[in-house]
């Protein structure tokens, strides 16, 4: 299990999909390659990572074993729902002013419905019930895959803009 980490009074909570291989091994969120992309984007948006709270919608790394490698496997709805009480407890404990959903799985966990990042990013979305407003954006791991195929810079700039939108709410 990899639980959240960060400032207990953070104004911005960042919620990812699930821990990756490095996160699972180290027991901390966003410490692997996607975490480095997120750090760069936070810096570019003028957001101090030490003043945020980082967590994931699903608290365990779901993977397929291929030889010595553990390959990421997308969490199912059942995994998102099973871990939802922990996410709600983190939201209640931290009480952020804005939440950033990093990817569609995080968006689904927070909004309780399927989301499409490309259709809903770049704007504030009202939170469910008494939840804070939400900014939906791409997960940094999605950007990593673009490094070899092209489009990384554009996707990075969109991520920075979305993080800037969240920062403007605090």
- The residue written with tokens 């994931």 in the block is 56
In this predicted model, what pLDDT tens digit does every residue of 9-62 receive, in sequence order? 999 999 999 988 889 889 999 999 999 999 999 999 999 999 999 999 999 877
In this predicted model, what pLDDT tens digit does every residue of 94-125 receive, in sequence order? 999 999 999 999 999 999 999 999 999 999 99
- Exposure letters 96-123 (e unless 16+ CB within 10 A, then b): bebbbbbbbbbbbbbbeeebebeebbee
The pLDDT assigned to 7 comes to 94
Closest alpha carbon to 170 in 115, 103, 100 = 100
In this predicted model, what pLDDT tens digit does every residue of 75-94 receive, in sequence order? 878 888 998 999 999 999 99
Secondary structure (3-state) at 50: helix
Range of the domain at 34: 5-167
The pLDDT assigned to 148 comes to 83
CATH number at residue 84: 3.40.470.10
Q: Which residue(s) pair with 13 in the sheet? A: 53, 99
pTM exceeding the 0.85 threshold for the entire prediction: yes
The pLDDT assigned to 131 comes to 84
Instruction: Domain count for the chain, please give it.
Output: 1
């Amino acid at each position: 299990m990899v639980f959240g980490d960060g400032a207990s009074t953070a104004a911005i909570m960042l919620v990812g999909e699930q821990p990756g291989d490095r996160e699972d091994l180290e027991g901390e969120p966003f410490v692997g390659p996607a975490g480095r992309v997120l750090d760069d984007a936070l810096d570019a948006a003028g957001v101090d990572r030490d003043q945020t709270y980082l967590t994931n919608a699903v608290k365990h790394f779901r993977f397929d074993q291929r030889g010595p490698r553990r390959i990421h496997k997308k969490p199912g709805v059942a995994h998102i729902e099973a871990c939802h009480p922990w996410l709600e407890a983190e939201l209640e404990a931290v009480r952020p002013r804005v939440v950033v959903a990093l990817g569609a799985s995080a968006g689904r966990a927070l909004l309780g419905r399927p989301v499409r990042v490309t259709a809903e990013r770049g704007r504030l979305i009202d939170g469910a019930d008494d939840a804070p407003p939400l900014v939906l954006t791409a997960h940094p791991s999605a950007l990593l895959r673009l490094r070899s195929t092209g489009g990384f810079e554009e996707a990075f700039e969109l991520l920075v803009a979305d993080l800037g939108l969240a920062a403007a709410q605090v």
